[in-house]
Homo-oligomer: A and B are copies of this chain.
Amino acid sequence: MANKKVHTSALLEKAGIPPPESISSSVVNEIQQFRKVQPTSKELVDGILNGNVTALSRAITLIESTNATHVEKANEVINACLPYANKSVRIGITGVPGVGKSTFIEAFGKYLTGLGKKVAVLAVDPSSTISHGSILGDKTRMEELVKDKNAYIRPSASGETLGGVARKTRETITLCEAAGFDTIIIETVGVGQSETAVHSMVDFFLLLKISGAGDELQGIKRGIMEMADAIVINKADGDNIKKANLAKTEFNRALHLFPAKKSGWIPTVSTCSAITKEGIEEVWKTILKFLEVTKENNYFFEKRKVQNLFWMMETINEQLKLNFYNDPEIQKLLDSTKKAVTTDEISPFAAAQLLLKKHFKK
């Protein structure tokens, strides 16, 4: 169909004026493009290594697919990109809704591209399955960064489990790094265990806070403060400056209650304003200092190894559980077994063994 072939019906006695084409060439072209929509893995890898953002986006779409062929192809691409990855700093940023994560990331990202950095902004948001990408989904919240050719913004993958969403983001990091992004920012919200997942894929973990009336220090998810390498109190501008400084003192005191970190790093507390840009540079200097300390004592490299093993085990564990809970035998029994367990008709352990027997019998 692609070639403008002359119609040679047996009914034509001799060559004459060919009849008009029944298909417009523009439609043909579109169909060709559609068929070409899946480039080979080599094409994708070449594109990524050349910093081609379209290739990067297409490869990420493969990662996010559940189609078995796509999964295989995604793995090929990731493995081919691996030798070119890892040369970045990975920064996790968390904070409850309202602390101004988007404005902070926009200001911070613009500051970094201003320094000549290439910045990728990703997200882990397990709730995005329902909200269709609540974090970063609305890219217009980062108006300037989204137009910056040295920045790449990708909304959260969606998926049924946090493990799945997080795994996809972790894989996306590798591709972004291979595409030349040297600063990876992973945003997450205080939902479920998403911070723990993000903490397991970044080098530096930043907790964004705001000062406010009375309950400004509330709303810290369990364990988050202890994960933080830095607490940054945002919106320290105008009338808020004094309150932000008070909050800074209070957090500093609180951090002393926690044990020393294995990294040898003492978490910092600072204030900043995404509007006046005050304190943004300080955040970056803190991160540079952190890299210096943890590369010097080797913690940085050891942590990345441990994180890699963690993700291998997590993926295995996730898949084992999926296999189990997707087993039709188990699906048939699960609800009634759960009910029996909550009403103390059967012990949780006997119930587990009962289900396991069913699963492994086959």
Q: Of the listed stretches A41-49, A50-58, A76-84, A119-127, name the one at the interface; the rest are far from the partner chain.
A: A76-84
Measured between beta carbons, the chain B residues less than 8 angstroms from A310 are 348
Please state if B308 and A220 are interface contacts (CB–CB under 8 Å).
no
Q: Does A278 have its Cβ within 8 Å of any Cβ on chain B?
A: no
Please state if B319 and A356 are interface contacts (CB–CB under 8 Å).
yes
Chain B proximity mask over A230-265: 1 for CB below 8 Å, otherwise 0: 000000000000000000001101101111100000
A305 to B344 alpha-carbon distance, docked (Å): 9
Size range of the chain A interface in the assembly: 35 or more
Please state if A78 and B218 are interface contacts (CB–CB under 8 Å).
no
A290 to B309 alpha-carbon distance, docked (Å): 41
Please state if B319 and A167 are interface contacts (CB–CB under 8 Å).
no
Q: Does A225 have its Cβ within 8 Å of any Cβ on chain B?
A: yes
Given contacts A321-B320, A352-B316, contact A253 B256 (CB under 8 A): no
Which residue of the partner chain B has the closest CB to A71?
B353
> Which of A310, A316, A356 is most buried by chain B, counting CB atoms within 10 A of its CB?
A316
Give the shortest distance, in Å, between A100 (CB) and chain B (any CB).
19
Within 8 A of B (CB), among A317-362: 317, 319-321, 323-324, 337-338, 341-342, 344-353, 355-356, 360
Chain A, interface SS category: helix
Measured between beta carbons, the chain B residues less than 8 angstroms from A258 are 220, 222
A217 to B255 alpha-carbon distance, docked (Å): 11
> Which of A75, A219, A251, A360 is most buried by chain B, counting CB atoms within 10 A of its CB?
A75
Which residue of the partner chain B has the closest CB to A86?
B344
A350 to B346 alpha-carbon distance, docked (Å): 39
Q: Does A221 have its Cβ within 8 Å of any Cβ on chain B?
A: yes
A196 to B185 alpha-carbon distance, docked (Å): 30
Measured between beta carbons, the chain B residues less than 8 angstroms from A220 are 257-259
A170 to B40 alpha-carbon distance, docked (Å): 53
Q: Does A171 have its Cβ within 8 Å of any Cβ on chain B?
A: yes
Q: Does A25 have its Cβ within 8 Å of any Cβ on chain B?
A: no
Please state if B324 and A316 are interface contacts (CB–CB under 8 Å).
yes
